[in-house]
Structure 1
């Protein structure tokens, strides 16, 4: 069963285009806003959208995404609210959606129940930031025939580890541009080309690069090495800038439109 994420990458490959993947935190500043942001980002050209499930102790997140999670948690957002929102979104759009979350959130919710709700609500992918390598096989088999991809996060570590992480993956490979937390960066390691080449040696699954991509220039710099680019913190900064005067949705739409132009150049 081909997932919507796989189909999207195939469609883009047929047009000789790269994927623009955007990230927002579900419930920041409200669930209703998240829904509107999904539609506005799709309109602006996002190909795939990642929805972060807010967590109180986010180890891989930089300060911008931590603040977004805090705003959502202050609104008492829970996973059931997020699943209900996804069901509403699915009545209006088929854009591929992936959750980015921490393993503990799934364990607390219940693995079987979580996977079943992903399938029922129409989610297409799961990116579990801290899923131990040894748990991947069991988790992957639990997702079999659900149409939900288990998307691995892979950092520039040893070749053997990269090989083990990407083996049998689906959707796309989330390639971390550098070790550390999420956030924006002004430059990228020259080793990135070698790292992405190593990933490609062990899998045909599309590679999308994230962590630190904050503007059209960064996209221009990196898009030649991969099949997709991921932008998160920079979008959340636009939300922060516009919350007070209610311009956050239009600010994000305008910014995503600029990012898309860089992808298409």
Structure 2
């Protein structure tokens, strides 16, 4: 299946997963959490355990769209010296050199865009996608025009509260859609999750060549499997992984990643 992805690395992992009858496991970790050295160790080992795409969070003093688990991780990373400075870039370079996975930079507009960090990451070819929860659709489109030339995708968001016209507008020209199971902050334990197949079926006709991934609320291997069975190309897991970093439960983290990856095997989930 030919895709319209800008990033060669994103396209490669997408096609390879399709050839193996798998969906992608996208794992979110905050860069520098709980320390810079431990952060690299956990990123590298999680990739070996089964993460196909690394979503690296840029530490922010005000991660307002995130829940408490991830907010605490941002603070730990900042305390560890992983601000948008040489400490962060050194970690990012090491991940790029030693972990052969696409890297998606997830960050807030202030730290990632306004301060110019995305340009440094782009110029050094350290990222394959930008994930910007507080950018408008218009801002995402303008950024895509800029960074697409460097082989970087700008991910757009859809949540279950959007109407069909909004979904169609977001999908127009998109390469990767991040479908959020609910509207709100990450890791909300009280969120009401819909059947993921309903949202997938609403989006898919408008995204014939792009990558469609599901996130928010995928706290267990079973929920990852449900997203894959529903037809998504990938599952994004974050808060449940970050909580393992918080408690330094490294073996638990890697085992959880491996169990989630098993649930992306389409033949084993009945998809």
TM-score between both structures, scaled by the size of structure 1 = 0.90
Structure 1 residue ranges (4+ consecutive) displaced by more than 6 angstroms after TM superposition? none
Kindly report which structure 2 residues correspond to 1:160-239, keeping only aligned pairs within 5 A, or say none: 160-170=165-175, 172-183=176-187, 185=189, 189-190=193-194, 192-204=196-208, 205-225=210-230, 226-239=232-245
SS in structure 2 at match of 1:131: coil
CA RMSD of aligned residues (A): 1.9
Aligned partner of 2:98 in structure 1 is 92
Q: Does 1:152 align with 2:156?
A: yes
Residue 31 (str. 1) matches residue 36 (str. 2): yes
1:231 and 1:73 map into 2 onto residues whose CA distance is 22
1:68 aligned residue: 73
Q: What residue is the counterpart of 1:245 in the other structure? A: none
1:185-220 Cα distance to aligned partner (Å, 9 max, x none): 588644532221121111121211111111111112
Query: Which consecutive residues of structure 2, in runs of 5 or more, have no partner in the other structure?
Result: 1-5
For residues 158-198 of structure 1, the C-alpha deviation after alignment (integer angstroms, 9 at most, x for no partner) is 1121122222222x311101111111658864453222112
Q: Which secondary structure state, in structure 2, belongs to the residue aligned with residue 263 of structure 1?
A: coil
* Structure 1 unaligned residues grouped into runs of 5+: 243-247
Check if 1:46 corresponds to 2:47.
no
Distance 1:40 1:93 in 2: 9
Kept in 2, the 8 Å contact 1:185–1:214? The answer is no
Paired residues in the alignment total 257
Structure 1 residue corresponding to 2:88, chosen from 58, 66, 82: 82
Q: TM-score, normalised by structure 2?
A: 0.88
Tell me if the contact between 1:99 and 1:125 (Cα under 8 Å) persists in the aligned partners: yes
User: 2:7 and 2:245 mapped to 1: Cα distance?
Assistant: 33
